[in-house]
Amino acid sequence: MKWLELLTVAGATLVAAVTVVVLYSLGVRLTAIAGDRQVAAPAWVKYLSYACFGLCGLAVMFGLYLIIPYFSG
Amino acid sequence: MVALVIALALFFDFTNGFHDTANAMATPIATGAIKPKTAVALAAALNLVGAFLSTEVAKTVSGGIIREGSGGVQITPDIIFAGLMGAVLWNMITWLKGLPSSSSHALFGGLIGAAIIGIGFHAVNLETLLQKVILPAIFAPVIAGLVAYICTRIAYALTARHDPETGSKLTQKRGGFRTGQIFTSSLVALAHGTNDAQKTMGIITLVLISAGTQQPGSGPQLWVITACALAIAIGTYAGGWRIIRTMGAGLTEVKPAQGFAAESSTASAILASSHLGFALSTTQVASGSVIGSGMGRRGTTVRWRMVGRIALGWLFTLPAAGIVGALTALLVKTGVVGVVIAAVAGIGAVLYMFLVSRKSQVGHHNAVEVEEAGQAIRFAKKKALARARAAERAKNKNLKGPQL
């Protein structure tokens, strides 16, 4: 029985999903703060949110790169 | 016979497509992130792309469950035909019931049943069966559900906004997740294309090799890849609305952040498993994610009765498809007449189920309900409201018109 492979799959799934969700949630959160009407948020908050979305996209791209045999050989 | 098997294989690919649209697109449709029609079109396109993306095909379809090749038994087109018949019929039945069930398990079941009748019980490798089908079937929803639960918790914790002084809730502004859902669901659709279209390609290649028209050990030909990609894409576009309704609304109420978490987990699980070589069923992963995310969000309930029905469906998939496969194999054994009878009976059964689905479509407003539910949420709500108001105004004008 391939228990080790099962564990690897479970671990990889957890790491990948949590990475994506944390980055995207932070992005959403920061966008929300940047968009607040009452309290003017510093400009860097907005850029930080962009950075979060960007990193999230990169993480997904990296995953695709690993999966598609054409790229990773 | 070869032509018949290829046709049936392509039809199986089609049912596979519309059976599994729900995996990718049920949650974004349920939250209104994408309009239903757009969603299935997107899923179809990505399935098409996915089918071409992965060149690593032509592994033996049954994955060693049936002892084939040198030293084993010879798989004939007859057995593949019988196995496919079982898979197709079971897919149609579960679709009619709106149950998400694994198409690959149906295929395995059909092939196993056909092989037992056609060759004998020794043809089936029980250990591989346990390892490749039964255990993953238990673990896939558990892993996906757990990950989705954690992700949903994280997503809600990170975006919960409270006023620092009063502690009262601010507007949460979680609309961004809806945009994210478009990407995550696309990823799931892509992963599905790379996984599931390959199965049919493998089958057709197997048939061609056993018929002697193709070199053993060579990969699928281009026309096979194209035909399979098209079949799965068309099937996806046809949209299994019944299953979409089950997955999007039947299991639990789905909110954007929750749907995003569920889809991320589904996509990660499928991609991780197909990359690391521990195959998990797309359908089971997706169902597990939806259930897990439903448990993760406060204030939702998971409809366990529906979960039970789905689990029961999974239990029956292997034996039921196996029985149909075995019966077909028995018929096919009798010769040409048997093949014709089997083919006619199969077409008849599929047609019958299609007709039954048309009947209850009117009764329960199946497909329409999904479409309306999708459009009724947020984005379209304003438009619909505006349209309703305009209609009201127009009506009032008409009423007043003749009187004045």
Q: What tens digit of pLDDT does each residue of B59-91 get?
A: 545 455 565 555 455 667 788 888 888 888 888
CA–CA distance from B190 to each of A72, B21, B196 (Å)? 17, 11, 10
In a domain, B402, yes or no: no
Please answer whether residues B360 and B97 qualify as being in contact, where contact means their C-beta atoms are separated by less than 8 angstroms. Answer: no
Cα separation, B182 vs B186, in Å, equals 6
For residues B116 and B92, what is the distance between their CA atoms, to the nearest angstrom? 23
- The rounded distance, in Å, linking the Cα atoms of B222 and B138 is 36
| CA–CA gap between residue B68 and residue B112 (Å, rounded) | 12
- Which domain, by its residues, includes A35? 3-72
What is the Cα–Cα distance from B232 to B227, expressed in whole angstroms?
Answer: 9
Residue B164 lies in a domain: no
Compute the distance between CA of residue B387 and CA of residue B390 in angstroms, rounded to an integer.
5
Structural domains of chain A, count: 1
CB neighbours (10 Å) of residue B55? 13
CB proximity under 8 Å: A 6-25 to B: 6, 8-10, 12-14, 16-18, 20-22, 24-25
Share of chain B above pLDDT 70, in %: 77
The pLDDT tens digits for B189-226 are: 888 887 777 778 878 877 787 777 776 666 677 888 88
Of B338, B179, B206, the C-alpha closest to A31 is B179
**Minimal CA–CA distance to B326: which of B109, B5, B90?**
B109
Neighbouring C-beta atoms of residue B248, cutoff 10 Å:
26
* Average confidence score pLDDT of chain B: 76
Report if residue B374 sits inside a domain.
Answer: yes
Nearest-CB residue to A69 (from B56, B159, B184): B56
**Does B395 map to a domain?**
no
Determine the pLDDT at residue A40. 64
Shortest Cα–Cα distance, B178 to chain A (Å): 10
pLDDT at position B272 = 80
How large is the average pLDDT for residues B28-33? 80
Q: What is the pLDDT of residue B146?
A: 92
Which residues touch B395 (CB under 8 Å, ≥6 apart)?
none
Are the CB atoms for B313 and B101 separated by under 8 Å?
A: yes
User: Do residue B173 and residue A32 have CB atoms under 8 angstroms apart?
Assistant: yes
Q: Is pLDDT at B25 greater than 80 in this prediction? A: yes
Segment B235-256, tens digit of pLDDT: 888 767 888 888 877 788 788 8
Of B274, B191, B174, residue with least CA distance to B232: B191
